[in-house]
Homo-oligomer: A and B are copies of this chain.
């Protein structure tokens, strides 16, 4: 087959996926909560029942990945076991338990002329999700899109192709058993990288929004090529600021948790800022707590003085999302110094201030322009579940449409329903 006809075939394939999704979306938009929940429960059951098949598919992906000599971090993200499969099934059941946003009234009011206006939540339509190696995204994202009444086209990483296909088959069983269109959740059945290009720019008639979940190169490609709206998930270069009025033990405990509880999530702290006004009292205990937990500290001159195990930080450290047991640390001039540092180096994801001073806290909370700002709490609370919003697609670092955790409500649009009694406009 020539390259040209392969690409024509891909175009036809993607066009068909788009048409199928649009047709499914128009049915899903009117589907009741019961049908959607029935499909999800059946999908969770199919995943449990299909665990052997899923693990077998995953073993194929793993051996191909090992043969391709990928990083151990990628292998870890790719690997499934009984526990991870069970947690996928349970994740879907958590989505069942969420309130269905579709058809709910976001606001309602009456006008002096008697018109009753209601803002009602409706699905976005068709969502395209482009993600990398984690196979559980197939289940999570499929479930969240279905619950919010959206059809979805999933484009997973080639490393997890067999795992994704096996999980996707279980979602399809769920849809079928509930009488919903199986095309509600479609998986792009090719690893051809050109398929991503179609999703970004060639399917504007079908896709209402694209959600990229992956590293910097994917995000950069999406920003350059996308012709449909995007819910972006950029990096989380998160900060903890220890103020002069912080309780030292609280500062130790939060800094440790924010950095070390899990280092690989986007809400993990990457830079510690310490108020110059409490170098003598707070700097040493907080830095030692981190060092003793096995965290590498890269500090400015003042932080290096605190402990000889501290390495020297370079300018680029302030920009870096390590996603590892490494933290950059710097002394700043009070809360305004912290605000200025975050404005310059941060990624507007999640930042926390530790202080006992209410006025200082409010200044930080108001002036730091990030999706999530916390007072006396760990940055690792940056999570839809921890916010009480249920499962999430991720944490949006965009300001448009959705900011912070993206759960079912953020996957909706709305329309205005206006009820009158013959009103005409004067």
In chain B, what residue has the closest Cβ to A124? B399
A254 near B424: Cβ-Cβ < 8 Å: yes
User: Which B residue's beta carbon lies closest to that of A368?
Assistant: B415
With A124-B399, A373-B415, A399-B208 as contacts: A387 and B250 at CB distance below 8 Å: no
- Contact of A53 with B by CB under 8 A: no
Top 6 nearest A-B pairs (CB, nearest first) are A377-B420, A257-B424, A399-B413, A401-B401, A380-B425, A229-B400
Question: Cβ of A404 < 8 Å from any Cβ of B?
Answer: yes
Chain B residues near A306 (CB-CB < 8 A): none
Q: How far, in whole Å, are A254 and B422 apart by their CA atoms in the complex?
A: 7
**A residues at B contact (CB < 8 Å):** 26, 29-30, 109, 111, 115, 117, 122, 124-125, 204, 208-209, 223-224, 227, 229, 247, 250, 253-254, 256-258, 261, 343, 361, 365-367, 369-378, 380-381, 386-388, 398-401, 403-404, 413-425
- Determine the chain B residues whose CB is within 8 A of the CB of A365 once the complex forms: 417, 419
Residue from A224, A378, A413 having most chain B Cβ neighbours under 10 A: A413
Q: B376, A420: Cβ atoms under 8 Å?
A: yes
CA distance A254 to B261 in the complex (A): 63
Q: A125-B399, A208-B399 are in contact. Are A111 and B371 (CB under 8 A)?
A: no
CA distance A29 to B339 in the complex (A): 14
With A369-B29, A372-B416, A404-B416 in contact, do A425 and B387 touch (Cβ < 8 Å)? Answer: no
**Complex alpha-carbon distance, A247 and B422, angstroms:** 9
- By beta carbon, the residue of chain B nearest A409 is B107
Copies of the polypeptide in the assembly: 2
- Measured between beta carbons, the chain B residues less than 8 angstroms from A419 are 361, 365, 374-377
Most chain B Cβ neighbours within 10 Å, of A256, A378, A380, A417:
A417
Shortest distance from the beta carbon of A231 to any chain B beta carbon, whole Å: 9
CB pair B261–A425 under 8 Å, yes or no, is yes
Specify which of B250, B378, B415 is in contact with A369 (CB 8 Å cutoff): B415
Contact of A424 among B204, B371, B378, B400 (CB under 8 A): B378
B111 touches A386 (CB 8 A): yes
Contact status B367-A30, CB under 8 Å: yes
Q: Is the CB of A425 within 8 A of B124?
A: no
> Contacting A261 at CB < 8 Å: which of B380, B387, B424?
B424
Q: B residues within 8 A CB of A400?
A: 124, 208-209, 229, 400-401, 413
**CB nearest neighbor in B for A122:** B369
For the complex, what is the distance from the CA of A400 to the CA of B126, rounded to whole Å?
12
Instruction: Tell me the bound Cα distance from A414 to B348 in angstroms.
Output: 12
A224 to B401, CA, bound (A): 21
For the complex formed, measure the closest distance between the CB of A134 and the CB atoms of chain B, giving whole angstroms: 20
Q: Tell me if A371 and B416 are in contact (CB < 8 A).
A: yes
Complex CA distance for A125 and B403, rounded to whole angstroms? 13
Residue with the greatest number of chain B CB neighbours at <10 A, chosen from A26, A250, A373, A381: A381
Task: Check A115 against B418 for contact (C-beta < 8 Å).
Answer: no
| Closest partner residue, chain B, to A262 (CB atom) | B425
Residue pair A423, B372 in contact (C-beta under 8 Å): no
B253, A418: Cβ atoms closer than 8 Å: no
In the docked arrangement, what's the CA distance between A421 and B247, Å?
Answer: 11
**Are B253 and A422 in contact, CB atoms less than 8 angstroms apart?**
yes
Separation of A41 and B26 alpha carbons in the complex (Å):
47
Give which listed residue, B378, B403, B415, contacts A403 with CB less than 8 A.
B415
Given A400-B208, A400-B413, A424-B253: A418 and B373 within 8 A (CB)?
yes
Give Cα distance in the complex from A399 to B29, angstroms.
14
Report A184 CB to chain B, min CB distance, Å: 17
A250 to chain B, nearest CB (A): 4
